[in-house]
Chain A
Amino acid sequence: MNIRHKIAISITASLFFVSQLAHAQWNIPEDSKTLKAPKPVSAESVIAGKALYNTNCASCHGQPGENNAIALSPKPTDLGSSEFQARSTEGSVYFQVSEGMGTMPSFKTSLKDDECWQLAQYIRSFSAEGAVDLSSQSKDLDLRLDLTSKEHKIIAVAYDKGASVEGVKVAFFIKRYFGNLPIGVSKTNANGFAQAQFPTDIPGADTLGTTEVIVKFAEEDLYGKKIITEKVAWGKPFKFINPLDDNHLWASRANTPTWLLLSYLGVVGGVWLTILWVVGQILKIRTYGKWH
């Protein structure tokens, strides 16, 4: 038995073991089911829970209610489904988040206790009793950008009908080829300013270093989907070098390596000059015979 067989067998065995564990039923203590969060559910806690959900849970469970969990065995539960909500309480979800079972990890070491509660409240917001009306709390704010070209600082100003708003989380991104690169989230201060430093090592799209800055509210559910983009020449100048433009063996005919072209022409030219010389010698024989 070689090493590959051994590895294959161990993986199969552990998968079998894990799937047995995962198939086991949740064993949620009765007192946990009735447990309530220290803070009652609010728009803020649900929005915070949503952000936590997207970071920690969505990669396996997908978006609640959309039945788009990844293909694991057993399949991760759709946490927005009515079946799940029917057998859950805020306390039971809190227990499941913090303890975990089988392939579902425990989050009590990686998340704070109140974060686990926020998650539970967010997940329960898909049920009738846990639902929260976000519209009462939300209001559309305006956002504007100030750029300091010297220090490469991006300053966002959140305001409502001309008056600046404090304590609003603003998220900063740089547009990249396959998505937006987050460079920071900061809360607006008393003047309504939130700021982020543009990194020094971002390659730009062209020789000027052009990049696109994207700023939006981190809590879009509360403050509206406002997106401001602006082009800045703060990236590292980038020059695209096409490998076919240089002289290479694989390049086009116009880009033959000089050494190769010279060798080729030199050898072929030399040989053919000699051939021509011999033809000349034949003519010499002919001329000689003509005059003697």
Chain B
Amino acid sequence: MAELNREESKRTLHKIVTDLTSPIQKHYGFKPWIFSLLLIIGVGLYAYVTQLQKGLGATNLNDYVSWGLYIAGFIFFVATALIGMLISSVLGLIGVKWIHPIARIAEMIALGFALMAGLVIVFDMGRPDRAHHLFLYGRPQSPIVWDLTVVLTYTAISLLLYILPLIPDMPFLKKTIHNRPKWQQKVYNFLAFNWIGDREQYRILKRSIRVLSILIIPVALAIHTVTSWLFALTPRVGWDSTIFGPYYVTGAFVNGVAAVLIAMYIFRQNFKLKEYLTDFHFERVARLFVLMMLVYLYFNINEYIVPGYKMKKGEDVHLLTLFSGHYSGLFWYTQFTGLLLPIFLLLFKKMRKPVPTAIIGLFVIIAGLLKRLLITVPTLEHPHLPIQNVPESFHSYTPNGIEWAILGMSIGGALLIITILAKLFPVMPIWEIAHDKGVHEDDIKNYDPKEYESNKAIN
């Protein structure tokens, strides 16, 4: 971007700062939104207290299907969280510029969903009071211990990758936000880490971000590969697959891009950021979306056609339930609305606009949750030995109200975390966007909103 003259530079910077910080000061529809999230969380809490009192018997989980909606939800959360790595690390390291306004949104989604993923496992525990036993008595040979480790590690790196690019924005917030409570100012002060915008500070900051961006790639691949191994390291029909790792990772990218598209649309509308999240950005992310869905489709074809062609004894029951049996409706729904139709629609330029992409994203993400339910449940309904001498209700599984309420609470929790972050901090890095638009380094360093206001008064 060409250098702007000083006057333009200052004016541009002030506009960016005002556009990005004003949603923090006033935010339309914030209260009803928070209220509905709290309502969902409240209902979920009530359901969880019921579950704590009655044990997991309060759910529809049973001796055979002991992993149901919660574990499907867990994979869904981990999957969605993976987007932080794809957008801000992979594309960032390649040097793709158009991700600058999107990277922090992706990181917020990553953080919110990774934090809730850890909680969802606890919801699935019959004895959550013994959760710490995993640390005390866990075996390093167990994929569950690996999973716990990577979820914690990924959350820590995501948090740092969210905080680091936030540091240079803090001086702007300190200077412009005055009508907020004192603790908020203190948070800004703390997170500024004495940032003065010197070359040396930028050097340290950028180096740290680069190191973490590289580090998070194997960690993110590990988190979802290990999640897939919770399934694939067992000899169960439908899980006993060598491609489960990449199958999960690509599925996660599809889910994550869908979440980013929805979030981009909401921030663009509600935060009035049309100038920053343009049709161009939606067009680019939509292309990425199609690419990810094509790769995921490829893995789906492998995952179902290879065993489907052979129809091995024992696997046939499982596969036929998906293709033409009890779960076929759900299966083909997820394949069509989660993959085939979106890929087809997004081939058209008209469909790669903000509104259509957000709607498609919504369908894909719903199909994503259902798909994970289809990976988890039918396998458990088809054990190697026949199900016999058990109550009729153990033969199949459908999540009940308590499970849906608790999953709703988890989704609500993730959205609440994202909302709080968006309410406290700008959803885009002010400094990076200012740099991209050619604002002078000195202006960023010495930004003073009063100066601009007094200039305006003189003019």
Residue from the list A251, A274, A287 in contact with B215, Cβ < 8 A: A274
Check B141 for interface membership: any CB of A closer than 8 A.
yes
Residues A289 and B196 in contact, CB atoms below 8 Å apart: yes
Number of interface residues of B (CB under 8 A): 30
B171 → chain A closest CB, angstroms: 10
Listed stretches B15-23, B84-92, B100-108, B205-213; interface member = B205-213
Q: Which B residue sits closest to A287, measured CB to CB?
A: B194
Chain A residues near B167 (CB-CB < 8 A): 282, 285
Within 8 A of A (CB), among B178-216: 192-196, 198, 200-201, 204-205, 207-208, 211-212, 215
Neighbouring B residues of A290 by C-beta, 8 Å? 194
Taking the complex as formed, is B140 at the interface, i.e. its CB lies under 8 A from any CB of chain A?
A: yes
A-B contact number at CB 8 A: 78
Dominant secondary structure of chain A at its interface with chain B: helix
Q: Which residue of B lies closest to A283 (CB)?
A: B193
Cβ-defined contact, A282 with B211, below 8 A: no
> Known interface pairs A251-B141, A271-B153, A285-B167. Does A278 touch B211 (Cβ–Cβ under 8 Å)?
yes
Q: Which of A217-253 contact B (CB under 8 A)?
A: 249-253
Quick check: is B294 within 8 A (CB to CB) of the other chain?
Answer: no
Using CB atoms, name the residue of chain A closest to B161: A278
Inter-subunit contact B193/A289 (CB<8 Å): yes
Beta-carbon nearest neighbor of B198 in chain A: A292
Chain B residues in 8 Å Cβ range of A176: none
Identify which of B140, B163, B198, B200 contacts A253 (C-beta below 8 A): B140
Interface string of A265-289 (1 = CB under 8 A from B): 1001001101101110111111111
Contact A282 B164 (CB under 8 A): yes
- Is B157 an interface residue, CB under 8 A from the partner? yes
Given contacts A284-B204, A285-B195, A289-B196, contact A278 B212 (CB under 8 A): yes
* Min C-beta distance of A181 to chain B, whole Å: 36
- Chain A interface bracket (under 10, 10 to 19, 20 to 34, 35 or more): 20 to 34
Q: Which residues of chain B come closer than 8 Å to A279, judged between CB atoms?
A: 160
| 1/0 contact string of A98-118 vs chain B (CB within 8 Å) | 000000000000000000000
Q: Is A76 in the interface zone, CB < 8 Å from B?
A: no
B133 CB, min distance to chain A CBs, angstroms:
12
Asked whether B211 lies within 8 Å of A253 as measured between CB atoms, the reply is no
B5 at the interface (CB under 8 A from A): no
CA distance A289 to B157 in the complex (A): 24
Nearest-Cβ distance from residue B179 to partner chain A, whole angstroms: 26
Is A253 touching B138 in the complex (CB atoms < 8 A)? Answer: yes
- A253 & B137 in contact (Cβ 8 Å cutoff): yes
Q: Considering the complex of A and B, which 5 residue pairs feature the smallest CB-CB distances, nearest first?
A: A289-B194, A286-B193, A281-B208, A253-B139, A256-B140
In the complex, besides A253-B140, A278-B164, 11 extra interface pairs with C-beta distance below 8 angstroms are A249-B141, A251-B141, A264-B146, A264-B149, A265-B140, A274-B211, A275-B156, A285-B205, A288-B194, A289-B195, A292-B198
A-B CB contact pairs (8 Å), 27 listed: A251-B141, A252-B139, A253-B140, A256-B141, A260-B140, A260-B141, A261-B140, A264-B149, A271-B153, A271-B157, A271-B215, A272-B153, A274-B211, A275-B157, A275-B212, A278-B208, A278-B211, A281-B204, A282-B193, A282-B208, A284-B204, A285-B204, A286-B193, A286-B194, A288-B200, A289-B194, A292-B196
